[in-house]
Amino acid sequence: MDKIQLNRMKFYGYHGVFDEEQKLGQRFQVDLTLELDLSEAAENDDLNQSIDYGDVYSRVQRIVEGEPRKLLEAVTQRITADLLAAYPHLQRCTVVLIKPDPPIPGHYESVSVEMTRSR
C-alpha cells in the first residue's frame, strides 16, 4: 500500500482532563499516515486520484482546534473517523496526536496517542 505522510502539523487546542487545560489551551502536534493506492494518481498526474494535503490539514485543524475533549483518545478517534469518511479511496489511516509538555508530574518531552483505523 502506498502512503502519504503529513508530519508535525501544529495546532493550539483546549483538550485535557484538567480545568486549566480547557481554559488556557496548549500546543498539539499531529502526524498522519494515509494509506491508499496512488498508482492512478501517479500515472495520470491527477490530484483527484490522490488526497489534497491542504484539505487534510484543514480537517485536522478543525478537530484539534475545535470542541474540547478530555482525552487525546477522543480527539484521535475523531480525526481518523473524519478522514476515512471524507476520502472513500483511503484504506487505512494512522494518527499520532502529540501533547508536548504535558501538565503531569515528572519530566516528559511529550505524551501521545497513536491510532490506526482501516476500512
Active site residues: 99
Separation of alpha carbons 27 and 29, rounded Å: 7
- Please give the single-letter amino acid code of residue 57: Y
User: By C-alpha distance, which of 107, 76, 106, 109 is closest to 94?
Assistant: 76
Spatial contact of 94 and 67, defined as CB atoms under 8 Å apart: no
